[in-house]
Amino acid sequence: MSDLLQVRDLHVTFKTPDRTVHAVNGVSFELKRGETLGILGESGSGKSVTLRSILRLHPEHRTRWSGSIRMEGDEVLEMGSRALADLRGRRVAMIFQEPATAFDPVFTVGQQIAETIRRHTGKSETDAFKRAKELLELVRIPSPAQRLKAYPHEMSGGMRQRAMIALALSCNPSLLLADEPTTALDATVQIQVLLLIRELQREFDLGVIFVTHDIGVAVEVSDRIGVMYAGKIVELAGVEQMVDAPQHPYSRGLLASTVHDGMRGQRLEAIPGAPPDLAEVPTGCSFAPRCKFVRPDCTTAPPSLRATGDTHLVRCVLAA
């Protein structure tokens, strides 16, 4: 089966007046239809930049990139403006942490969803509103007919997030990009939205890339998990492999330092130090300065992604 999305050796560099940021440094992965890939990593590791690259949402004049992003075979990095508009408006949808930015505050939620449907399907206004109501039902917004007439600020955070998901699904995308969509939600609401995304993903056979810094959230939604560090995927594996037997010292450290049930009274295994500055490309492994297994060859050349199992990839010289 061919891949829905193929990312090959993606590099993204931003030039700002005072510095250069090497945000993504050689990211490769593929995604199948109906599959959910979780991208897990700490702040600044390049999760959002990777995700936004798929829609080419970076400021064009300050951004350098190389590599390849193929969506259903089409090269995104070479698309003209029409193909790009089609990609962003129809084929790929995105949801993020702050739903307020997805909606225009001066129009009702119904108007905005219906307008998106009309633009992409040419449906009549009445039909578009009918579909919008179905979508609100689908994301389990209570009294959807009434809610169509609500302005974004009249909805609670959890309801706005559902409405954004409805908006995202309104153009029947085949790929859903989710950038920390539940991070700002309350715990009891977060789990509702996670289950909703999981369910819709199955129902529509969507490919989903779900970015998060929360391991528990990644475990709830993902088929595979990619762990990012300093602009690279350092480990990519099935969710069970990743949780049971992480191989990269950073993934292992991250799992060990995450507090969960039954750790009371134990000393936490913290990773010393802090992530590196992205102004320079390191000659060796970016994690080497914090790694307790560091060897001389870790700092001479960047380690390549090695396969340690059928579907388990690790970027570490120690990986067998």
Q: Tell me how far, at minimum, the Cβ of 47 lies from Mg ion, in Å.
A: 5
Residues 210-249: x where in contact with ligand ATP by CB under 6 A, - otherwise, as a string? ---x------------------------------------
For residue 117 the two structure tokens come to: 């449907």
Q: Tell me how far, at minimum, the Cβ of 121 lies from other proteins, in Å.
A: 31
270 part of the interface to other proteins, by CB under 8 A: yes
Q: Which stretch binds other proteins (CB under 8 A): 25-33, 86-94, 268-276, 299-307?
A: 268-276
φ, ψ dihedrals at 94, nearest 5°: -135, 140
Residues 124-183 touching ligand ATP, rule: CB under 6 A, are: none
Q: Which residues contact 182 (CB under 8 A, 6 or more apart)?
A: 161, 189, 190, 193, 194, 212, 217
Q: Which stretch binds ligand ATP (CB under 6 A): 46-54, 109-117, 132-140, 163-171?
A: 46-54
Closest CA relative to residue 215, chosen from 74, 89, 38: 38
Q: Tell me how far, at minimum, the Cβ of 179 lies from Mg ion, in Å.
A: 6
**Under a CB-based contact definition with an 8 Å cutoff, are residues 71 and 33 in contact?**
no
CA dihedral of 151, 156, 160, 166, whole degrees rounded to 10:
-100
Residues 184-213 touching ligand ATP, rule: CB under 6 A, are: 213
Size, binding site for ligand ATP by CB under 6 A = 16
Residues 47-86: x where in contact with other proteins by CB under 8 A, - otherwise, as a string? ----------------------------------------
Distances (CA, A) of 119 to 86, 89, 175, 272: 11, 9, 19, 52
Q: In this complex, which beta carbon is closest to Mg ion, that of residue 51 or of residue 138? A: 51
Taking CB under 8 A as the criterion, the residue among 1, 106, 122, 259 binding other proteins is: 259
Residues 39-58 touching Mg ion, rule: CB under 5 A, are: 48
Q: Tell me how far, at minimum, the Cβ of 5 lies from other proteins, in Å.
A: 22
Residue 90 is classified by DSSP as: I
Residues 233-252 touching other proteins, rule: CB under 8 A, are: 239-240, 243
**Under a CB-based contact definition with an 8 Å cutoff, are residues 236 and 224 in contact?**
yes
Taking CB under 6 A as the criterion, the residue among 4, 7, 14, 215 binding ligand ATP is: 14
Taking CB under 6 A as the criterion, the residue among 36, 48, 161, 174 binding ligand ATP is: 48
Closest CA relative to residue 67, chosen from 142, 157, 158, 6: 6
278 part of the interface to ligand ATP, by CB under 6 A: yes
Please state, in angstroms and rounded to a whole number, the distance separating the CA atoms of residues 237 and 245. Answer: 10
49 part of the interface to ligand ATP, by CB under 6 A: yes
Q: How far is CA 150 from the centre of its chain?
A: 29
Q: In this complex, which beta carbon is closest to other proteins, that of residue 43 or of residue 126? A: 43
List Cβ<8 Å contacts ≥24 apart for 194-203.
194/220, 194/221, 196/139, 196/140, 196/162, 196/165, 197/165, 197/221, 198/36, 200/138, 200/139, 200/165, 200/169, 201/34, 201/36, 201/176, 202/34
Distances (CA, A) of 37 to 84, 102, 125, 220: 23, 23, 36, 11
For residue 260 the two structure tokens come to: 């969960």
Q: Which stretch binds ligand ATP (CB under 6 A): 45-53, 156-164, 243-251, 305-313?
A: 45-53
Size, binding site for other proteins by CB under 8 A = 43
List residues near Mg ion by CB under 5 A: 48
List residues near ligand ATP by CB under 6 A: 14, 16, 21, 23, 41, 43-49, 58-59, 213, 278
